[in-house]
Structure 1
Amino acid sequence: MHVWKKRLALGVALGMSLSLLPPVSAASYADLDYSHWAYSSMDRARQLGILQGVGGNKMDPSGTLNWGQFLTLLSRTAAHTQYEANARQYAWDVAGYMTALETGLLRPEDGLPADPNRLSDAISRQDAAILLANALPDEEEEEAEDSFDWWLGFDQPQTAKEPEEAFSDWEEMDQLHQEAVAKLYRMGIVSGKSDGSFGCADTIQRADGTVLLMRVLEELDGAQYGDEVSLTVHLVDQSGNRLAPDLTVTGSIGSYFTSYHVEDDLPDDYTTADYVSLPFSIASTDTTVVCRPKTEFERQESAFWDLVEQGLASEEDYWKQDFWLIAQGGNSRKHELLFDDASKSRFANRQEAEANMVTITVPVWRLSNGKKVSGNASFSIHADIAEDVKEIFTEIYNDPEQFPICDVGGYSWRGDTATGEHNCGTAIDLNSNQNYQVRDGVAMVGSHWTPGSDPYSISPSGSVVRIFAEHGWSWGGDAWADSSDASTGYHDYMHFSYMGG
């Protein structure tokens, strides 16, 4: 690994250990967005292989858990190795039951209604509390302040009341259930429901159960903080095909496994599809890292660092390299190309801007009576990127998708105080009505964005976004938001910009 990347890896690892934000590798789900109160716990459980989705990119946070599901989740959390061994012999839910029985998570003396023939029965919150309490060592019971909340991003409040005062349904529980709930309450693992009850007889939901399991895991990891654990890493491409032999990575509980651990083990033309950040834990025995082919920018960047290692180039020249011209976003190399000044990112006035513009004509596909026909489009653009823009449109035209274009907007002076890139001739709008500008679901310009049904709407996974990105352009559909979802955040689906603005 290059020295600068080693330093970056250390910095990122430290930052991730202290940050309260979701990890960069956090996933997007159709029914669970980043603002959901259980998002971080459910996504972490997914990363650890404890929790799986229900299909259709959904996590079903409000769905209820049955005995088989909860015992499996608990076993994967507190006894992962034993569960995996049992899963090779039994059905997944029976494996959870057997593991819980063998490891003392499920104790006959507790008299819980757990039956291997009735694992599909719903589990109550109070019965789940007994199982969770069994997973915790007794000496931790009064040590809520000693948990390692700071490195996992959890911050449990101190309990102000005794458990019998905290829950309105306390007297509805027998002594065994009261003891379990009290233990969890004093450790800050449970706090009850919004109505003031524990909800002892209620069934436990997937979101609630997962959050409690992650808090229990926090305590278990905290008790073994600093211990060495091993993680088996599977490297696959975006189709799930294996790219390299499995790796074994060792780390201490409390530190993070990141993309940089596997960088030197990837094929030369591959990198990780997303930044990976996974805490080493008693529950983390294996993980799959999805990889993708490097972009042209990344290939050229890697080649530069190879030259540095060979003594044929200097680190000091890193920011001067031409590969920055095809990197997304603004940078000093792009500014130097466009404005002859690395510190300048805008034209001072209309006269200066228009002196740097040219009109170009590019090939496009148009729709005529439902059929695609060849045509041309003309618009103004910054002269220094004119040839690159011609190449972009030629690639879009030659792509098998044959994306149709009905209107193109390029340079447009929008006032001396405007901050957008149309003033610079470095922004392009395509099919403006069918790719609207929208904020939190409310249209600002244009009427809709319906990829898949309107042929003029730009698909996030289509050729247009891909080809512009390969040339260092950003798409307004997802450049300023967590995803391309029109219902939240600001999106400009028609808009492509060379400097990311």
Structure 2
Amino acid sequence: MHRYSKTVRIAVLVLVVAAIALQLPASAFGVDTSFSDVPSGEWYSGYVQKCAMLGIIDGYGDGTFKPGQSLKRGEFIKMLAASIEESYSTTKLKGVHWAEYYWNVLNEFGVLEDVGIPCTYAALEQTITRYEMAALIRNTLYNVYGENTMEVASPETNIGDYSVIGMAYRSAVEQAYGKGILGGIDAKGSFGGDYSLTRAQAAKVIVCLLWPSERQAVSFATEVLPVIDAKDSFAFSYRNMTTAERRLALFGDANKSYFTSASDAGKRIVTVEVKTWDINSSGVKYTRTWYVQVNAVVADEVKAIFEEIYNDPERFPIKALGGARYSDTLRHSWGCAIDINPTENYYINYSTGATVGSYCWKTSDSPYCIRPESSVVRAFAKYGWGWGGQGWTSAVDYMHFSILASGG
């Protein structure tokens, strides 16, 4: 996944603000930022000027901006793609729509994940809703800029129409509110997600996305900080240890290579609580809590990994989860391996044909299948954990993650 800095954009914005404050002529930047229907006293005038100065949004041939006019999906997708520094796409164009190139840019950045806007003429010509805008902004925050997620306290109280927001958009709306990028449209703080996004609103959203200092202060949201810095994970440290150092850290004994039972492991195996998504019988994703046993030395990074999986826009569903066990001498008996959704992510031995589980992402489109590009694989890899789905000489194990880079 791409991760880009906003440094250049912010530097330009500083110049834009300076130009506005000093009342420099627009020609100083070679861009006309004055529009006959954008009075200087309107709440959106500064946002429009900044976006116009950056080339993110244009006016009309008659000198107007039309701030109250609704945006089409293709138009907002272009604005968002233009706001991402050094963005480009190498995908071959098919001539579907004038905004196809910008759609490809956002698609390659992961901004279109779970938004439901296909690259068709009809889809890109539709008016974009505030719900769709929120989903795109959330994905840009986390998939492009790598910002930390926000925990919103009592969203049903702080977002006036929260009860009518569908599950598909609740996370996006919560994050946009929590970041101070979006606010309510009435005294109750209602979001109004079914309303179309206007050009004036879009200008504000883009500026607040790029420039955190422009965002509103939010008293009911707190930033979710990583439990552990990825570079400090035991999985990374393990690679530079001697065998004796590894065994001392894992088992407290330089001559021990695995635990034979829970009593043998004692206090070196601990239980961590993690949250994940799952899917109910109606097909709706919901939160569930798991208690997983792992080695104490990897407890913090396991919590951090699952926090990232849970907060990722993909909302990968987990219906079965396993940690430490003592049936063999490998990584599970160390407390340093995790199995996820074993039925949908099988193990197969190439030599014997022996299998555990029923299928994998290559043979099924089940939402429980772990795919190479999934948030699950990315989160584990960030902390140095390998995936058995990469395969080895004799087998492949799609359910399995461990502290070894090979996923063994």
Decide: shared fold, TM above 0.5. Answer: no
More strand by share: 1
| Normalised-by-shorter TM-score class | 0.3 to 0.5
Task: Indicate the structure (1 or 2) with the bigger Cα radius of gyration.
Answer: 1
TM-score, with structure 1 as normaliser:
0.34
